[in-house]
Amino acid sequence: MTNAELAFVFPGQGSQKIGMLSEIAQEAPEIQATFADASDVLGYDLWDLCQNGEQDAINLTQRTQPLLLTSSVALYRLWRSRGGSQPVYMAGHSLGEWSALVCSGALAFKDAVHLVRERGRLMQEAVPAGEGAMAAIIGLDDKEVEVACAASAQGEVVAAVNYNSPGQIVIAGSRTAVERAIEACKAAGAKKAMPLPVSAPFHTELMRPAAEKLTPQIEVTNFNAPEIPIVHNVHAELEADPEAIKSLMIEQIYRPVRWTACVQKVIGSGVSQMVECGPGKVLGGLVKRIDRSVACHAIDSSGNFNEALRTTAV
């Protein structure tokens, strides 16, 4: 059954942690089965890595991206196998948009695992370690952050890259330019302006070489029209044409994530409930900052999974 008021949102990098999904996997064989499918593609045991490995190991971008994709797809498979309502919209934050593509039927899971591993590797290689940076800016509006970045560039790259919620924006670019922008944001009245523990400046022009190298692999992969509409990061709109979706997924690598606009688009279509399909509750928190009237559900443990099943049933 489809719930006309329900959307699914899929998290991106930053939601990973050692031991994730361990409790729910004990009673849901679908979880480890999905991880086994991914491990076949990757050539290593992804489940063992995220349960028994080191945090530094799963924080490597080329491992983080397949890990979060697999976690989200595993939870969605479990959701549907347990009779969970089908959503009317999907959206994913950065890497999470790949999870949405798989869960909407637009892309085969194993193809997505391969592509996001390459995406992570190429994004990390695009800028040498230590030369890029990202920072979170709290308490300024979008325009104030954009002005601070423009004034701080001085011939280098620094820009707003994640419009996460009103008053919460992530900037990225060359390390020295980001440092200047942090000080400019503080001077403009930011409540917080703090570097993030990420070495690569995601979603900036510095990522364009990664996008160009990934393009041939995306172009030869079969994409389908999504069975469930996806609101895309690049322009916060829907797209049904598979070739246009490929272009958006290439562009997404070096364009900002317009998450606030994506959520507003979904809410404006009549959605009042959202399920965060992946580990953690990061997106639920952002959604609440965008619109407190929306009910947000996490499903990464047995308790909250079953509660979400009950609450969203039609």
pLDDT digits (tens, 9 = 90+) for 54-102: 998 888 889 999 999 999 999 999 999 999 999 999 999 999 999 999 9
Q: Residue 288 in 3-state DSSP?
A: helix
Q: Is the pLDDT of residue 199 over 80?
A: no
Residue 85 annotated among the catalytic residues of the structure:
no
At residue 129, the pLDDT reads: 82
Question: Model confidence at 261, in pLDDT bands (50, 70, 90)?
Answer: very high
pLDDT tens column, 18-36: 999 999 999 999 999 999 9
Residue 69 · residue 75 · CB < 8 Å: no
Q: Is CATH 1.20.120.530 the right assignment for the domain spanning 6-126+206-312?
A: no
- Return mean pLDDT, the chain: 96
CATH architecture of 132-199: 2-Layer Sandwich (3.30)
**Active-site residue among 85, 165, 174, 203?**
203
Centre a 10 Å sphere on the Cβ of residue 168 and count the other Cβ atoms it contains: 21
Judged by average pLDDT, the poorest of 127-141, 209-223, 235-249, 255-269 is 127-141
CA 53, 39, 280, 198 torsion-angle sign:
positive
At residue 59, the pLDDT reads: 86
At residue 122, the pLDDT reads: 95
**How far apart are the C-alpha atoms of 276 and 284, rounded to whole Å?**
6
278: left (phi over 0), alpha (psi -120 to 50) or beta: left
Residue 173 · residue 131 · CB < 8 Å: no
CA 11, 15, 16, 18 torsion-angle sign:
negative
Q: What percent of the chain has pLDDT over 70?
A: 100
Strands 273-276 and 6-10, sheet pairing: parallel
Does the pTM surpass 0.85? The reply is yes
pLDDT tens column, 289-300: 999 999 999 999
Q: Is the pLDDT of residue 209 over 90?
A: yes
Domain layout of the chain by residue ranges: 6-126+206-312, 132-199
Q: Is the pLDDT of residue 130 over 90?
A: no
At residue 60, the pLDDT reads: 85
Residue 165 annotated among the catalytic residues of the structure:
no
At residue 202, the pLDDT reads: 94
**Active-site residue among 39, 94, 99, 174?**
94
